[in-house]
Homo-oligomer: A and B are copies of this chain.
Amino acid sequence: MGTYAEASTPELKAELDTLNKAYTEFKAKGLSLNMARGKPSPEQLELAKPLLDCVNSTTDVSAYTKADVFNYGGLDGIPEAKALMAQMMDVPAENVIVCGNASLNIMYDMVSRAMTHGVLNQKPWCQAGPVKFLCPVPGYDRHFAITEHFGIMMVNIPLREDGPDMDLVEQIVAEDNTVKGIWCVPKYANPSGVCYSDEVVARLGALKPAAPDFRIYWDNAYTVHHLDPAHPVKIASIKTACEEGGNPNMWYEFASTSKISFAGAGIAAIAASDANIEDINRQMAFQTIGYDKINQLRHVVFFKDLDGINAHMAKHAAILAPKFAKVRETLDAELTPTGVGKWTDPKGGYFITFTGMPGTAKRIVELAAGAGVKMTGAGAPFPYKKDPEDNVIRIAPSYPSLDELSQACALFCLCVKIASIEKIIATH
């Protein structure tokens, strides 16, 4: 049999019978695998275990910092942690605040504060009537969850190979003063793997927003997460782009070590302009006396600097790259002959995006779940969980072992085939 598009209905029906038998056999295996979330694998986490020893009961802390890491204080983080995160985020240390264990929490707080207190002396959004965010799609489900939670209307923006559709972004941002933000994962994007081109970054920095409190929410979550450390992708600085575009305060950058040290016990940071940093610190002072400085110091002692982080991430890449290759190989082998679907070849990050026939994503995820493989929910990479084509599925290869991944991908391909043939037959 050739591609499904060329096959006759009887051929497809016969093929579907065969596939369904294989599916039943898979089901009998009683698998319980998960390709749903971008979780580091136990092997990756193991690499960071020595970090736990970096600040112990005998450590001479004064050799590393003048900060009193055991007591209160230090709202914006210890200077050495600010310097470390600043290197990683490619901004000056004075433009960084190091917070707790999750950049998600910082993003949430930034939106929450904007709702109740406004952005840099502008009116609080909760008093400003409807507020909108631009959402390049497919994108990160937890971004969209935050904006939806706060009742912010989300506007889909097509994400191209080099970043968001800038013609559209420029037009909307200039015309609509209720548009207050755009969610961006500029490098190895979740889930597409897209890296924003220099031109896109420059155009973002040069936006002429109608709203003075419009901000670019630059979630640089995967900045050091290369799959091929010898050929890391470099993207342009959003800080520089905004400054050169005459919008020095228009950006917030977020990053964390959640997928570098420990997911859930890393350190997270926000970078922003001087004026924004001052405003954020002023507001943060009501919320906390300071974040966990001991954990900040652990990271400083363990990683030392960006070189240390990069060396560590090369070890991650050695674990992750074969997993990404396995997914691609399986999809290439199983699906290319059918002519169904396409899938990304990311150079970093945590995800492969599969795009299937319209109207099949939910069915594929349902079939996979039925045989014990949990995928990210269909629709998740879209605002309101609504995939307009119902054809995008986020694949997260990081957590399962290579063996588990082989099985999970084989099943996934089977489910794609079944759902696709079902769809074709139904429309014949």
Contacts and interface: CB of A to CB of B under 8 A. Distances in A.
A59 B42 CA distance: 15
Interface in A83-106: 100-102, 104-105
Interface string A45-79: 10011101101110100000000011111100000
A32 to B, nearest CB: 15
Most B Cβ at <10 Å: residue of A50, A70, A149: A70
A66 to B, nearest CB: 14
Contacts of A112: 112, 116
A222 B368 CA distance: 51
A343 B24 CA distance: 79
A225 interface: no
Contact of A53 (B57, B108, B290): B57
Interface of A: 37, 39-40, 42, 45, 48-50, 52-53, 55-57, 59, 69-74, 100-102, 104-105, 108-109, 112, 115-117, 124, 126-127, 142, 145-146, 149-150, 258, 262-265, 283, 286-295
A104 B45 contact: no
B57 A286 contact: no
Contacts of A292: 100-101, 264-265, 292, 295
A72 B396 CA distance: 14
Contacts of A258: 72
B40 A71 contact: yes
A289 B292 CA distance: 17
Contacts of A42: 70-71
A280 B40 CA distance: 27
Given A100-B100, A112-B112, A150-B116, A72 B264 contact: yes
A293 to B, nearest CB: 6
Nearest to A148: B286
A265 B294 contact: yes
A74 B264 contact: yes
A166 B59 CA distance: 51
A360 to B, nearest CB: 29
6 contacts: A37-B72, A39-B71, A42-B70, A102-B289, A105-B288, A108-B288
Contacts of A145: 286
B265 A69 contact: yes
Nearest to A297: B265
Given A37-B72, A292-B265, A293-B265, A101 B100 contact: yes
Contacts of A124: 126
A127 B102 CA distance: 29
A264 B287 contact: no
A55 B52 contact: yes
A292 to B, nearest CB: 5
B53 A56 contact: yes
From A55, A264, A295, residue with most partner B Cβ within 10 Å: A264
Nearest to A287: B108
Contact of A70 (B126, B263, B289): B263
Contact of A126 (B39, B49, B53, B116): B116
Nearest to A126: B126
A281 to B, nearest CB: 14
Contacts of A293: 264-265
Contacts of A288: 102, 104-105, 108
A145 B146 CA distance: 26
A387 to B, nearest CB: 21
Nearest to A104: B288
B264 A71 contact: yes
Pick the 9 closest A-B CB pairs, nearest first. A49-B57, A265-B294, A45-B70, A108-B287, A149-B286, A72-B263, A126-B126, A101-B292, A105-B288
A40 B71 CA distance: 7
A334 B257 CA distance: 55
A108 B39 contact: no
Contacts of A102: 288-289
B262 A294 contact: yes
A70 B264 contact: yes
